[in-house]
Every structure is written in C-alpha cells, then in structure tokens.
Structure 1
Amino acid sequence: MSRVANPVLDLPFDVRPDPDEFVQAAMEWHFAPDTGSPFWLERAKTLDFDPRSDIKSHEDLKLFPNIVNELRDVRVHDLVPRGYGDDARIVGVFESGGTTGAPKRVVCLRDWLDRMVAWSNANLDAHGFPRGAQWLGITPTGPHIVGQLFSSSATTHGSVGHPVDLDPRWVKRLIAEGKPEQANAYAEHVIDQAAFVLRTQDIGVMTITPPLLERLARRDELVDLVNQKVRAIRWGGTQLDPDSRDFYRAEVFPDVTLYGHYGSTMILGIAGQRLGLTDDDPCVFDAFSPYITYSVINPETKRVVSYGERGQVVMNHVSKALLLPNNLERDLAIRVEPLPGQVGDAVADIAPVARFEDEAVIEGVY
C-alpha cells in the first residue's frame, strides 16, 4: 500500500514549488522509516547530521557525502522509496557510461520519467520543434537513460521513434586499447544504419551526439537528406564547441533548428538549452529546478566559483522517486546565473576533465 506524500512532491511539472519547502518535504519522504528507501534509511545511520531536521534548503544538500560510487553494488530495489508500496512502477534500470570503472546504477520510476519528459517536451515546443514528427535517434540505448528519453520524447512529442543501436562503452574500450581504426569503423557503421532510416522514412527530428553529427556532416548525401527532411536536431552526450555549433547553424544545416541538452544518468534527466541565446552567446543549459540542480565549484577548495568562472560540476537529483545529492561529475563548465526563480546554477561550455577518479576520461562517441 502506498503512502500519501506531501503534495509539494507531486505538483504538475510546470508548477514550481517553493525550493525550501520542497527540499524539506523530500527529506521527510526519503528518511521517514515508512516511506524512505532501504538504501537511504541504512545510509542515514552513518551521517553526522539528521536530514529530516538539518536539511532546510537547497544549499544544505552539500552536507551529504557523494555516494554515487556505492551505486556500483547496491540492489536496485533498495533504491525505491517504501512509500510507493505496490505503486512503484519501475520503467528502467539505468547505468552510467562506465567511463571510470564499473558502471553505477539507478532505478527510474514512471512518475519521474513522465515529469521529466513533460518538462523536456515543453522546452522543445519553446524552441520550435515540430509536434507529431517521426524521430531518428542516433544515441546510446540499452542501459543508458538517453535511449529511454529518446523513446519517450519520440512517442509523446513526436509520433514514432527510429532508434539506432549505439554502444559507447565499446568505442571507449577500443580507444583505450589503442585501436582507433576499429573505433572509427564502428562509428561509420552507426552512421550507415542512420542513413538507411534517413533515406526511407519521413524523419522530422533527429537526436544525435556531436561526434556522430560531425561524421554525418562529412557525407554530402546525408547532409542533403537532413536539409530536405529534418526540421530540428537535438544534440547532447558530449561537448559541441562554439565554432562547430556556429558552422552547423550557418553553413551545414542553415534551416534546421539546432538545440542542445546536457544530462547524466546519475540525475535521471537532462538540462535544456536556454531560449533566446544569440549567435555570440555560449550554449547555456538550464536544469529542471528544483528537481535537478547544478553547482560549479573549485575542485580543490570545494567552494562555488564566481559567475563567469570555470569549475567542476556538482549535480543534485531530489524528487519523490530518487534522492542523489552532491554528486561531483566528470565535467567542467562555466558557472552562469540561473533564470529568475530557479535554484542552483546554469552551466555553459561543458567539457570533460582529463582524469576522474584516477582514470583517464575517454569520450569517444558519447
């Protein structure tokens, strides 16, 4: 039997809760014995503070330790809050990219996925993405949440999705083993699969990673097909440098909307490109606050950097479905002032750190 949560945790996606009230309600939900998850109820015994009484604001989330490495071994059902009872509809178990060792694992519940996709779809509307289009997804599938987000977006904002298989871990392994020719052959194979879809189907929206967009753009036939059929491209997964973004917008796909997103499995979602950016602006990403929030810190001092300065990204996910605070990501970014009414930072000019958790960071195709 499910428990009734504080209504602030179940507001419609487009109703922004008071951030402090929201955080306090989330702490009560995730740490009360009858509603919290087995993982957090056990982990709370090791904390030197009481989340239910000491976490009063978004700023207080930094009191939590970064527990993401523990998610390499946790049983996924231990991450599901008990308050859901029999109503915990699991739509997927998703893993990190495995860039720095064994992948970490999180569970996604239906209510969160619906909320995240509804917010994302509203962003696509604002950026002029056509409703009801057929989508082509040249993105990771399998255990990567981006595949689920593609499928959900394609069937709710669009009409049908055409996914192309992509295993980014295999590409990273080939690069790490000094086999660039094999990595190159695999990436070309992926573009070949996309070409079959572009030639035969009425694709209106394409989701793709920047390295694969670069490969696609080398083929004149595919550039012509995209310009004939596709009205909008959503890119993400790795960085797209400003010069390349300008080149695609002005020279390669001049009549196609180019829209970026920035996300992570460990936050179960994505941030969207800010509306109204000029050609001279960096690509700024705004998170789904207060559920997903960022801060940009100096990795040595752990203090937030000033706006306009570069630092390492810390991510928080706080929702009814999952709690994952204070996660130091493998990305560097420029700290940008958030939109009015949002908590946390906006971020721009994303790039990976060279090393993370004593491992070299390899991006590959995602």
Structure 2
Amino acid sequence: MARAELSILDLPHEASPDPDELVRAAMKWHFSPETGTPFWLRRAATLDFDPLSDVKTHADLRLFPNVANELRDVPAADLVPRGYGKSPDIVGVYESGGTTGAPKRVVCPRDWLEKLVGWSNANLDVHGFPRGVDWLGITPSGPHIVGEIFRRSAHTHGRYGFQVDLDPRWVKRLIAEGKGGQADAYAEHVVDQATHILRTQNIGVLTVTPPLLERIAQREDLVELVNAKVRAIRWGGTQMDPDTAQLYRTEIFPDTVLYGHYGSTMILGIAGERHGTPPGEPCVFDTFSPYITFEVVNPETRQSVAYGERGQVVMHHVSKALLLPNNLERDTAVRVPALEGRIGDAAAGIAPVARFDDEVVIEGVY
C-alpha cells in the first residue's frame, strides 16, 4: 500500500485531518492483510458489512459492533497492526479498571502516545500550566495507561516526575467486601506518601484523583504546602461536582489552576476540560477529535439524546494505533455541542451508572 494513502494517519497532533478521510485511511490500515490488525482481520469475517467498501464516513462507524468485551481475552500481539513491522515500538499493554469484570486490554504504540501527549500539553498551556516545573502524580502506575501519560507529560511539559502508586482495584475490592475502614486507611497511606514528597521537593504540578484531593484539602498542613508550592492541579479518574470545584478555586486553592481530564484506557487517551467554563457550571470535556470522539446516547436506542440532556457515553477511537468504535462506557454525561471544527459530542457532568454489564459500579479512589 502506498505510503501517501496512509499519510493522514501520521499527521502531528496540531493538524486537523478530515474525519471521513481519517476513517477511510484507518479502514485500509486495519483491514488490509499487509498492514492490518490480526484481531480485526479475523473479526472481519463475522461482520455483515465490508469495512473497506462500506465504511466511508465517521458516521459509518455505527456499523461496527461493540467489541470491547472481547478484549478481555485477545492476545495482546493480535492488537498490534502488522504495518508497525516485526519489532514495533510499543510503550505498553494497558488494562481497563476491571470495575465490571475481568479487565480489557489495549496496546499503545509510542507514536500514538507522543501524539496524544503533544495534544494534551497544548491544552495545559491554554489553561496556564507552568512549564519546566516538577510534577507529582498520585495515580496508578499500571496497568492503566494514566500512569504512562503522567510520566510522559511530566517529562515533556515539566522537568522531573515524582509518583505515588495507587491501586484502585484493591480499594474497590475492599469497598465491595464491606471493608470501608481498610479502604480509608489505604487512602490515607497514599496521601501520607505524597505529603513527604510535597514537603521535600519543589512540586509545581499535582496530578490527583478527586477523592484524594478531598483528603488533601482536609489537612491544613497539606493545604498550606499546596498553596505555597503547587501552581496547577490536574485531576481525573472520578468526577468532581461544580460546587466542589468552585470551592477549591475560590477558597481552598485560590491561586492554583484547576484542570480536569476525563478518559479511558480503552480509547488510549483522555478528553480535556474546556477553558472558560463559567464558575459553578459543570466542566465540559472536549475530545482529541477526530481520533477520539464521544457520542452521548440513549443506551436503549443508541440514538443521540438532545443537547442539554443526559445520556450514556459512547467512545470511538480511530487511529493508526487502534480501532475501537462504539464502546459504550459506564458513565453518563450531559450532551454538549463540540467546539467548532471538531466532530462528535462534548460531555459535561460526568457521573457513573449504578450498574454496568450486570455489575454494581464502585468508584473508590479512581
């Protein structure tokens, strides 16, 4: 296959490829024998349409079934497109949270991670994050992709990255077993570790989950440390309500930038909080369109809800690295128009569903 046909898949993060052209190029990449993804090359035989001839626009992604649950058992090597060659530069194999059963897995090539982080760094600049400072991340180091995104962001946007590991699966298990006291003790243990780093290092950016930021806000000594050193806080992993965000911005951390992320390992990425959201309003999350896109739908009909109404989030990923369309996530959101020039929906007021895949959803600390 000629390289020119695939050049749209290799554009830098600041480019704005035509969404339909991107989809057509991705179909050729993932479903051609010489470059395709083994998983999709096999799965194509079970589809009632031909991706190479029938999927011509971004809207045609709806033809695909949701195959996310199949990724619980697929060998990781079968998720790497053959076009990456015999020795692909793979950053890692990452897993979903395991909230609703055995974890699902995806593979992240380095070129995709660099593109994603470049886009994310540009968002941080818009929000006024300082460059060249040290970062502290209270996040899972693995098997979720957020740990790798943190490390790469700290290296490219900041200087040194300090990390306190977080095991959200253990917390969810403790909560599910009625061991809330142990879950609480574990969370305090994590915050204690972060405290030592904050006291001894010049941390300029803090990456943290809302439940752990709440614990930090309850310790006067930590609030003083954050206000003395930290110039920006990036939060994500669970939702943050508008009243809490406003309290942080105006009273607890008044001189610190507060910026949220919403994402999923299964889309190999994140959406960033829209700049300029009015105080007290739910933050709006914009995707890395057209590679990562959202739809907010009625889960029964899979049709989009009206703007301003709440529905369930469907995520699509279309890139050289991964094809995963129509993944119904375990979150609901209010549908918001995307920014001009972007495709799909923006999402506001993220909240988990009570049950997903017949399992009770437990959030815990992430």
- Would you call these one fold, judging by a TM-score over 0.5? yes
Q: Look up the match of 1:231.
A: 231
Contact 2:235–2:261 (8 Å) recurs in 1: yes
* CA distances 1:261-316 after superposition (whole Å, capped 9, x unpaired): 10000000000011121214320000000000000000112111011000000000
Show the counterpart of 2:289: 289
Per the alignment, residue 330 of structure 1 pairs with: 330
Would you say the 8 A contact 2:231–2:256 is kept in 1?
yes
Deviation at 1:4, TM superposition (A): 7.0
Partner of 2:186: 186
Question: Within 2, Cα distance between the matches of 1:22 and 1:323?
Answer: 11
Give matches, 1:239-250, under 5 Å: 239-250=239-250
Question: Could you give the per-residue CA deviations for residues 106-139 of structure 1, whole angstroms, max 9, x where no partner exists?
Answer: 1000000000000000000111000001000011
In structure 1, C-alpha distance between the alignment counterparts of 2:275 and 2:185, rounded to whole Å: 37
Contact 2:246 2:280 in 1 (8 A): no
Which ranges of structure 2 fall in alignment gaps of 5 or more residues?
Answer: none
Matched, 1:312 2:312: yes
What number of residue pairs does the alignment pair up?
366
SS at match of 1:178: coil
What residue identity is the alignment partner of 2:11? L
Find the aligned partners of 1:278 and 1:102 in 2 and give their Cα distance: 39
Tell me, yes or no, if the aligned pair for 1:5 and 1:29 is still in contact at 8 Å. Answer: no
RMSD between superposed Cα atoms in Å: 1.2
Q: What corresponds to 2:22 in structure 1? A: 22
Hey, what's the Cα distance between the residues in 2 that align with 1:278 and 1:329? 27
1:154-303 correspondence runs (5 A): 154-303=154-303
Determine the structure 2 residue equivalent to 1:49: 49
Percentage of matched positions with identical amino acids: 72
Are the equivalent residues in 2 in contact too, given 1:204–1:230 (CA < 8 A)? Answer: yes
Please say if residues 93 and 106 of structure 2, whose CA atoms lie closer than 8 Å, have aligned partners that are also in contact: yes
Offset, 1:5: 5.5
Question: 1:146 matched to which residue of 2?
Answer: 146
Equivalence for 2:130? 130
Deviates more, 1:275-284 or 1:68-77: 275-284
- Matched with 2:100 is 100
- 3-state SS, counterpart of residue 165 of structure 2: coil
State the distance in 2 between where 1:282 and 1:180 align: 29
2:351 aligns to what?
351
Q: Structure 1 residue 189: deviation in Å?
A: 0.2
Question: What is the match of residue 11 of structure 2?
Answer: 11
Distance 1:279-1:234 versus aligned 2 partners, 3 A rule: same
1:161 to partner: Cα distance: 0.4
Please give the alpha-carbon distance, in whole angstroms, between the structure 2 residues aligned to 1:56 and 1:283: 33
CA–CA distance in structure 1, aligned partners of residues 250 and 144 of structure 2: 32
The TM-score normalised by the length of structure 1 is 0.98
8 Å contact 2:243–2:280 — kept in the other structure? no
SS at match of 1:164: strand
Moved over 2 A (4+): 2-5
Code of the aligned partner of 2:315: M
Q: Secondary structure at the match of 1:341?
A: coil
